[in-house]
Amino acid sequence: MTISTISKPHERLAQILTSEMEAVNTLIRTRMASEHAPRIPEVTAHLVEAGGKRLRPMLTLAAARLFGYSGDHHVKLAATVEFIHTATLLHDDVVDESAQRRGRPTANLLWDNKSSVLVGDYLFSRSFQLMVETGSLRVLDILANASATIAEGEVLQMTAASDLATDEGVYLQVVRGKTAALFSAATEVGGVIAGATEEQVGALFAFGDALGIAFQIADDLLDYQGDSKTTGKNVGDDFRERKLTLPVIKAIAQATPEELSFWERTIARGRQEQGDLEHALDLMKRYGTLEATRADALGWAAKAKTSLGALPDNEIRTLLRDLADYVVSRLN
């Protein structure tokens, strides 16, 4: 595969960062080993080897390389970020009682919930050891705060999921917790370890935050209008799982009393009948909430690109700008 044939920005980033991504993968495999408890690498390998785009560790490597960093702490931090991500996936699948992840049966189904909970804890503690090895208190502070935001967002999502009072503000908090907090921590720590200025670290935070929000809003929108062949998801999964995401929140905000009882019955109480998804989609179209959600996602992608203005202008920055376009390109 030559550069000219690669069009997706995360693939071009992966190519530029090939040797460092290999170092990250090696470190992940080394650190997920456990001499005493073979169940740990079994469960972790199932998830880590399944692929995924490794977007988060790539953001850390890219942020460090933006500033020409030449040490190896960014590799440790990239592995840290991927371990945190994998740990949250393991716990999420227990919480959501999921059966599939990345097209394969989830660990909680292949082994049991216990394994998912405890191996998630193990990976989180391993990530903690890795970040301590960098010796940077600033990095530890960023990742500690991100961990708290992630955990708080998860609890909030659980309690707010089917509560019709959930508004766009709460939705944004949940999205920051479940997605944006780790994106922004990933870019921030890459910059910190490379010696970026405070202003640049602030810009890296703003970029990761906006990119993560755009990414998650796009994901939530595709649940209602995606092509299941390309997304690998069925249209309306979130509706069936009674998850209040932006297209529905916007429709509820404008609902007539009659429509409100429809949302009350289907989302809050979960009494869904044949034809309900179609009716929900009709309501979203009637109020233009799919378009409004798309506009929000594009707005966050634009914000991400603007944040890059404060950062060194080089090839990596161009690819990060393209990445912001790419995460919402599926919506066009």
Residues found near a copy of itself in the complex (CB under 8 A): 34, 36-40, 91, 94-95, 113-115, 117-119, 121-122, 124-126, 128-129, 132, 135, 137, 140-141, 143-145, 147-148, 150-152, 154-156, 158-159, 170, 173
Nearer to a copy of itself, 131 or 290 (CB): 131
Instruction: Collapse the DSSP code of 254 into the 3-class scheme (helix H, G, I; strand E, B; otherwise coil) and give the result.
Output: coil
The distance of closest approach from Cβ of residue 289 to a copy of itself in the complex, given in angstroms and rounded to an integer, is 24
Q: Which is nearer to a copy of itself, 15 or 113 (CB)?
A: 113
Q: Which is nearer to a copy of itself, 150 or 252 (CB)?
A: 150
Helix 137-160 crosses helix 73-96 at what angle (to 10 degrees)?
20
| Residue placing its CB nearer to a copy of itself in the complex, 114 or 271 | 114
Between 181 and 284, whose beta carbon lies closer to a copy of itself? 181
Q: Judge whether 27 and 48 are in contact, CB under 8 Å.
A: no
Q: In whole angstroms, how close is the CB of 54 to a copy of itself at the nearest point?
A: 23
Task: Using the Cα atoms of residue 28, residue 120, residue 245 and residue 49 in order, give the sign of their dihedral.
Answer: positive
User: Least CB distance from residue 300 to a copy of itself, whole Å?
Assistant: 20
Give the residues across from 104 on adjacent strands.
101
Nearest CB to a copy of itself, comparing residues 135 and 275: 135
Whole-number Cα distances in Å, 143 to 52, 138, 140: 22, 9, 5
Name which of 30, 10, 21, 86 is nearest 57 in CA terms: 21
Residue 261's contacts (CB-CB under 8 Å, 6 or more residues apart) are none
Residues 6 or more apart whose CB falls under 8 angstroms from that of 193 comprise 64, 69, 71, 73, 74, 77, 134, 136, 139
Select 6 or 118, whichever has its Cβ closest to a copy of itself.
118
- Residue 95 sits at the vertex; the CA angle it makes with 92 and 101, to the nearest 5 degrees, is 45
Shortest approach of a copy of itself to residue 137 CB, angstroms? 6
Q: Give yes or no for a contact between 304 and 267, defined as CB atoms under 8 angstroms apart.
A: no
Task: State the Cα–Cα distance between residues 252 and 264, nearest whole angstrom.
Answer: 10
CB of 35 to a copy of itself, least distance (A): 9
User: CA 257, CA 5: separation in Å to the nearest integer?
Assistant: 53
* Number of Cβ within a 10 Å radius of residue 155: 12
Distance in Å, CB of 166 to a copy of itself, minimum? 12
Q: Which CB atom, from 87 or from 298, has the smaller least distance to a copy of itself?
A: 87
What is the nearest approach in angstroms of a copy of itself to the Cβ of residue 62?
Answer: 25
Q: Which is nearer to a copy of itself, 58 or 119 (CB)?
A: 119
Asked whether the beta carbons of 170 and 245 are under 8 A apart, the reply is no
223 vs 282: CA distance, rounded Å: 15
The SS3 call for residue 62 is helix
Q: What is the CA radius of gyration of the chain?
A: 20
